[in-house]
């Protein structure tokens, strides 16, 4: 496929302007607070029917970013605590502890946010210039995958599209580049108007002057769900409606001089377009009676319905929460000692969504550990490719530990120390912790 330049150019151009990639970029934009409401104008119809902007009117552009809250909430819920792992091979556990360090957990949390925004994110295992094995993140909107199968389980190759700022001696320009990842290495291109300009090819690793290749393309997909659907698709219309409600309420508060509409009788009647313009721009209209005899001034008071706005805002927030499958602890009135049933009900929707995401991430981490084990084998450390590793996600959930333990004791359940220690959120190596317990008790 690297030799079929025209095919790559065609697919890259299609991907660049595709609806799917546009939705990914939309999710990233909304997460950072760049919402459509920030570009809203207050307009009216002109005399000839054209749309004209009314710049002197209040135009609040308020963002209540419930979408970003949902993204952060989900990522924190699943990955705010260290991932525990179990492995029988003691030497492999030592290497896994170095791999699953705080930096990797931070990176994985960033991957989760990007997967929620784009539906999918990617990790690229690679070697640095100094020969160190590491991983880097690619956003979902950067990668165009070419899958071998419909189930999207194995890559044939993938194109990465990204921009970089460059200075040409006069000004700073944004230049597009593309990279083709296959089993053997990376082919670098510069994106020109005429197509892809070949720059160079680089193997993934070189040992003793020989280029080495991975058994599969070193790009690991991390999906938010099986269908790779971005979270923004569920809530964008509701988020926009919430921003509009807040902004319109603020506009009403700022428009106090126009809380009265003045009706002038027997004074320069107007056509429909000028009537709409004057009503929107000045809060006053000029009308004329049929016989031309009646005259005068009437005042119509316009009140801002604060209670109505509050109701709309409250219901929109609730709808966003439900569609994003999140939770709001403020809605749970459980008293000073909440029972476990109430706490579990609060997390029901979040748990269902987290289960789907964890299932995808478990599979992805297994693939990533395959690259890590291959790295250890290539480096001569040892062959751990067939070692089984169990990963446990310690979710950030409010629990009543006392009630859980009392329930287990009353039910006559006896759990092993390995199981109990594995559920402790600040233990990331179960075997090592059990050894410490044994040393302290003997």
> What's the Cα-to-Cα distance from 68 to each of 185, 324, 364, rounded to whole Å?
36, 11, 24
**Two structure tokens written together for 99:** 């791999």
Whether pLDDT at 404 is above 60: no
- Alpha-carbon dihedral sign for residues 240, 241, 245, 251: positive
The residues pairing with 212 across neighbouring beta strands, listed in sequence order, are: 205
Percentage of the residues of the chain whose pLDDT score is greater than 70: 77
More confident residue, 34 or 207: 34
pLDDT per residue over 164-196, tens digit each? 998 877 888 899 999 999 999 999 999 998 889
The residue range of the domain holding 424 is 5-32+65-231+348-438
Distance in angstroms (rounded) separating the CA atoms of residues 91 and 76: 31
User: What is the pLDDT, as a whole number, of residue 236?
Assistant: 97
Whether pLDDT at 272 is above 60: no
User: What is the pLDDT, as a whole number, of residue 411?
Assistant: 60
User: What is the pLDDT, as a whole number, of residue 234?
Assistant: 95
In 3D, which of 85, 90, 77 has the Cα closest to residue 101? Answer: 85
pLDDT bucket at 2, cuts 50 / 70 / 90: very low
- 353 within some domain: yes
More confident residue, 281 or 389: 389
Range in 197-206, 398-407, 427-436 the model is least confident about: 398-407
- 380 within some domain: yes
Average pLDDT for 390-403:
69
Distance in angstroms (rounded) separating the CA atoms of residues 174 and 168: 10
- Phi/psi zone of residue 265: left (φ > 0), alpha (ψ -120 to 50 degrees), beta? beta
Distance in angstroms (rounded) separating the CA atoms of residues 239 and 245: 10
Distance in angstroms (rounded) separating the CA atoms of residues 124 and 119: 17
CA distance from start to end of the chain = 63
- 136 within some domain: yes
Distance in angstroms (rounded) separating the CA atoms of residues 394 and 425: 6
User: What is the pLDDT, as a whole number, of residue 337?
Assistant: 56
Summary mean pLDDT of the chain: 84
In 3D, which of 182, 189, 225 has the Cα closest to residue 204? Answer: 182
Average pLDDT for 303-308:
74
Q: What is the DSSP letter of 330?
A: G
- 319 within some domain: no
pLDDT per residue over 48-72, tens digit each? 778 888 887 888 999 999 999 999 9
> What is this structure's pTM?
0.80
In 3D, which of 369, 363, 328 has the Cα closest to residue 348? Answer: 328
DSSP output for 14-69: HHHT-HHHHHHHHHHHHHTT--GGGG---EEE-TTS-EEE-TTS--------HHHH
Radius of gyration over alpha carbons of the chain, in Å? 30
Total domains in the fold of the chain? 1
pLDDT per residue over 83-121, tens digit each? 888 888 889 988 998 898 889 999 999 999 999 999 999
More confident residue, 170 or 78: 78
- 210 within some domain: yes
Whether pLDDT at 135 is above 80: yes
Whether pLDDT at 399 is above 60: no
pLDDT bucket at 313, cuts 50 / 70 / 90: very high
SS3 289: coil
Average pLDDT for 279-305:
64
User: What is the pLDDT, as a whole number, of residue 181?
Assistant: 96
- 306 within some domain: no
- 199 within some domain: yes
pLDDT per residue over 326-366, tens digit each? 887 675 554 555 565 666 667 788 888 899 999 999 999 99
- 405 within some domain: yes
Cα atoms in the Cβ-side hemisphere of radius 13 Å centred on 435: 6
* Residues written for the chain: 442
More confident residue, 108 or 286: 108
Alpha helices in 152-259 (DSSP H): 232-254
């Amino acid at each position: 496929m690297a030799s079929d330049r025209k095919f790559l150019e065609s697919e890259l151009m299609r991907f660049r302007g595709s609806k799917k990639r546009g939705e990914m970029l939309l999710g990233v934009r909304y997460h950072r607070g760049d919402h459509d409401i920030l570009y809203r104008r207050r307009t009216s119809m002109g005399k000839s029917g054209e749309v004209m902007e009314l710049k002197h009117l209040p135009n609040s552009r308020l963002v209540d970013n419930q979408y970003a809250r949902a993204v952060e909430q989900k990522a924190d819920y699943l990955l705010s605590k260290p991932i525990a792992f179990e492995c029988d091979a003691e030497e492999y556990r030592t290497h896994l502890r170095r791999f699953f360090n705080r930096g990797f957990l931070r990176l994985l949390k960033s991957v989760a946010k990007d997967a929620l925004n784009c539906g999918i994110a990617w990790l690229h295992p690679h070697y640095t210039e100094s020969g160190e094995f590491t991983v880097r993140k690619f956003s979902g909107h950067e990668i165009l995958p070419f899958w071998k199968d419909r189930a999207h389980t194995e890559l044939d190759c993938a194109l990465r599209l990204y921009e970089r700022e460059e200075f040409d001696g006069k000004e700073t320009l944004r230049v597009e580049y593309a990279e083709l990842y296959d089993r053997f290495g990376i082919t670098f291109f510069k994106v020109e108007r005429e197509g892809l300009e070949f720059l160079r090819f680089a193997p993934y690793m070189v040992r003793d002057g020989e280029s080495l290749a991975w058994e599969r393309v070193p790009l690991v997909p991390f999906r938010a769900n099986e269908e790779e659907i971005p979270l923004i698709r569920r809530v964008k219309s509701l988020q926009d409606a919430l921003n509009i409600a807040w902004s319109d309420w603020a506009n009403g508060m700022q428009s106090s001089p126009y809380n009265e509409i003045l009706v002038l009788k027997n004074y320069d009647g107007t056509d429909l377009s000028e009537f709409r313009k004057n009503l929107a721009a000045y809060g006053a209209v000029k009308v004329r009676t049929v016989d031309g005899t009646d005259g005068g001034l009437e005042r119509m008071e316009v009140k801002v319905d604060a209670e109505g706005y509050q109701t709309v805002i409250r219901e929109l927030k609730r709808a966003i929460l439900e569609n994003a499958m999140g939770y709001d602890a403020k809605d749970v009135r459980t008293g000073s000692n909440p029972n476990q049933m109430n706490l579990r009900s609060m997390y029901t929707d979040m748990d269902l969504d987290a289960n789907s995401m964890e299932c995808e991430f478990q599979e992805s981490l297994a693939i990533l550990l395959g690259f890590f084990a291959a790295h250890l084998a290539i480096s001569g450390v040892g062959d751990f490719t067939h070692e089984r590793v169990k990963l446990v996600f310690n979710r950030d959930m409010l629990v009543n530990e006392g009630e859980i333990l009392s329930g287990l004791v009353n039910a006559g359940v006896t759990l092993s120390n390995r199981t109990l220690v594995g559920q402790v959120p600040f233990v990331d190596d179960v075997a090592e912790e059990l050894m410490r317990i044994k040393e302290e008790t003997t």
